[in-house]
Structure 1
Amino acid sequence: MDISIKQSSLNLIYAAVRTFVYAQPIFSQRRHFWTKLQELNTQQWTPCCCIGDFNEILEQHEKQGLRDQPESRMQLFRDCLDNSNLMDMDLKGCKFTWCSNPRQGQVTKEKLDKILINWPWRALYPNSSGFALPIVSSDHSPLLLRLKPLLRPTKLFRFEALWVEDE
């Protein structure tokens, strides 16, 4: 594949084909990353797909754990996506893509890993689908993006003798 890297930093690779993301775990630094993402994605008619660990949730149902996520933090992330003309692609598979080590006897689970796309990208790949695979050797779920739908095997035709009785 030919990938043209337009800009890169420690936490972001911006390429002509895809953007792979690792957002800072520290919230104050993550906000700077969102500003950068908005600056890079100003051309709303250019297809864009960002895959990676955004270290943030969009809605409360994307978290299971001791404390709720502050609404203000989620709203900042939603604003970033709106200003970037990006939307969260629905993932099949695991509901949560990250799990913590147990604290106070409880594990926190969140949907931190996402595939973000814009409408021009969706128009290019209308049958694409995203999958959150099971967490195995990391605390994150690997994401899989299929650009083409899986072809279902055609069923083998079998003639039923009963059919000849019906005109």
Structure 2
Amino acid sequence: MSCLSWNCRGLGNPSTVQVLVDLIHSKKPNIVFLIETFVGLRRLQPIKQRLGYAGLFSVDSIGHRGGLALLWKEGTEVDIKSFSANHIDAEVCLSSGDLKWRFTGFYGCPERVRRSESWNLLKQLAVRNSLPWVVLGDFNDILYPNEKRGGNPQPRRLIEGFSDTVETSGLRDFKFEGYQYTWEQSKGTPNWVEAKLDRILTSDTWCELFPSAKATSVIVSKSDHLPLFLEVLPNNNHRQKARFKFENLWLRDNTSREIMIESWSRSSGLHLMDRIGRCGKAI
């Protein structure tokens, strides 16, 4: 079983929908949480059918802002418990009779002056349910100063406010592999900013329930955010040591090569670039 979260920055563009289709085909997640869809249920229904999902719950956008969607495969049981413009909270299980756990798709308020609303929402959600809990999404916050590069340093009060909220809510940061700066703005200019705005938070009981869970960020080109892919129940088949794999969806956009090279060159994967022949919002 697996989950995917992505701030897709609008599903009104056919090329963005195609990137999503390729992403779903590649990763095959049971549950998908989409942020900033910029569309309503009427526009999401044909996308759901194209993706091959059985269930859909959405929170409509307000004009050209916001919009959330939760999709799930047939056979995956999803019981929506609450929702708002900033979250969808559900109880889930893989099939009838399996242990239930809690999935929350989260979208933090982009405006700094409203950031405390996001923190209060997370703390309110924490006391509503005692099931093992995982929270995925775009929090529009960072936990540590080194999670932002470029621009002005993140105000200490925002870092401390988010960190205190995570701790108070009984959650902890779930590490993921891949490129860590999941959001960027003004790339290639002196004002280039990157930050780890997208992340996964879990309760201790969730980690105990799924000790083999693992996650990674995924390179795509049709958003200023990277998707996060969480493998809750890894395939029990024998796994070889992880190797570099080329994704066909990278061919959908001319900027993908540049994104891959930049990502590798700014991370520990520089040797991969050599081996293949050198082949907005402010927080």
**Which residue number corresponds to residue 90 of structure 1?**
175
Where structure 2 has 5 or more consecutive residues not aligned to the other structure, the ranges are: 1-75, 92-101, 242-283
Report the 3-state secondary structure (helix = DSSP H, G, I; strand = E; otherwise coil) of the residue aligned with 1:3. strand
Choose the corresponding residue for 2:196, options 111, 116, 126. 111
Q: Is 1:6 equivalent to 2:91 in the alignment?
A: no
**Which residue number corresponds to residue 157 of structure 1?**
none
**Which residue number corresponds to residue 124 of structure 2?**
39
Report the 3-state secondary structure (helix = DSSP H, G, I; strand = E; otherwise coil) of the residue aligned with 1:73. helix
For the structure 1 residues 109 and 33, does the alpha-carbon distance in structure 2 shift closer, same or farther, using more than 3 Å as the test?
same
Which deviates the most, 143-152 or 59-68? 143-152
CA distance in structure 1 between the aligned counterparts of 2:129 and 2:104, rounded to whole angstroms: 15
Report the 3-state secondary structure (helix = DSSP H, G, I; strand = E; otherwise coil) of the residue aligned with 2:177. strand
Q: Encode CA deviations 1:86-115: one digit per residue, 9 max, x unaligned.
A: 111001000210000249623100000001
**Equivalent residue letter for 2:77:** D
What TM-score results when the alignment is normalised by the length of structure 1? 0.85
The answer as to whether partners of 2:173 and 2:202 remain within 8 angstroms in 1 is yes
CA distance in structure 2 between the aligned counterparts of 1:135 and 1:64, rounded to whole angstroms: 20
Higher relative contact order (CA 8 A, sep 6+): 1
**Which residue number corresponds to residue 106 of structure 2?**
21
Q: Is 1:152 equivalent to 2:239 in the alignment?
A: yes
Q: Is 1:137 equivalent to 2:222 in the alignment?
A: yes
For the structure 1 residues 43 and 130, does the alpha-carbon distance in structure 2 shift closer, same or farther, using more than 3 Å as the test?
same
Please identify the structure whose Cα radius of gyration is greater.
1
Q: Is 1:51 equivalent to 2:131 in the alignment?
A: no
Report the 3-state secondary structure (helix = DSSP H, G, I; strand = E; otherwise coil) of the residue aligned with 2:151. coil
Q: CA RMSD in A?
A: 1.9
For the structure 1 residues 44 and 81, does the alpha-carbon distance in structure 2 shift closer, same or farther, using more than 3 Å as the test?
farther
Quote the sequence identity (%): 32
Q: Encode CA deviations 1:15-55: one digit per residue, 9 max, x unaligned.
A: 12310111110022231121121111126842110100000
Higher helix share: 2
**Equivalent residue letter for 1:12:** H
CA distance in structure 2 between the aligned counterparts of 1:6 and 1:43, rounded to whole angstroms: 10
What TM-score results when the alignment is normalised by the length of structure 2? 0.51
Report the 3-state secondary structure (helix = DSSP H, G, I; strand = E; otherwise coil) of the residue aligned with 2:200. strand
The answer as to whether partners of 2:109 and 2:117 remain within 8 angstroms in 1 is no
The answer as to whether partners of 1:89 and 1:115 remain within 8 angstroms in 2 is yes
